[in-house]
A = this chain, B = another copy of it.
Amino acid sequence: MAVVQQEPGTEERILAAARRVFIRKGMAGARMQEVADEAGINKALLHYYFRDKQRLFEGVFKGGAEKQFGCIWNSFNDSTELFDAIERFVAAYIDRMLEEPLLPLFIAQEMSRDPEGLRAFVDRGQASRQRFIRLVEEALAAGAIIDIDPRDLLVNMMALCAHPFVARPMLTHIHGMNDEAFRRMMLKRRKSVPEFIIRSIRA
């Protein structure tokens, strides 16, 4: 049975446009008229399909954690050894965020504005964080790494991955980078960050 490629319907077009505007401006800064303009529709349609701004936001982001972040957290499932896990995590994180460089700052902003709003994004990683902690404990037991709290290590990994995206305008200003140069820098970090981490923790 052949699957026929379909023109996106109005609802899909709204969700995609809303996503772009919300990520760029945040929930509070996004304007419904702006979303309508971005989707090429009359503003009243936003209310017809999604009733109000909050439901539109939820329509875009609720239940989306798997799609947004699954590939990153799933990277731990593919490893049976800590150093490999670190390499895979960093690579997966940077690859994913290079698709949407504004996402880390958006999530930080929205978590600050409404901590309950994006809980799914955070809770999605719970099982994977546990798996990571076990990998660290195994490496400790094997004497492969120094004594370090797995949670501290995970904070450091997240910091080294996420911060350049959050501080992107500052970094591009300081170093006179355009978007392509930023991308190249992150691709370099895809290798150098795991090296930096592993050098630090190796016994």
Contacts and interface: CB of A to CB of B under 8 A. Distances in A.
Given A160-B156, A160-B159, A200-B199, A108 B175 contact: no
B160 A160 contact: yes
29 contacts: A26-B29, A28-B28, A29-B29, A105-B108, A107-B170, A108-B108, A108-B166, A108-B167, A108-B170, A111-B167, A111-B169, A111-B170, A111-B173, A112-B168, A112-B169, A115-B173, A119-B173, A122-B173, A122-B174, A151-B175, A152-B188, A152-B192, A158-B167, A159-B159, A159-B164, A160-B160, A162-B167, A166-B166, A199-B201
A52 to B, nearest CB: 19
Contacts of A74: none
- Contact residue range for chain A? 35 or more
Contacts of A113: 29
B111 A109 contact: no
A181 to B, nearest CB: 12
Interface string A111-130: 11101000100100000010
Contacts of A201: 199
B196 A199 contact: no
Contacts of A112: 102, 105, 168-169
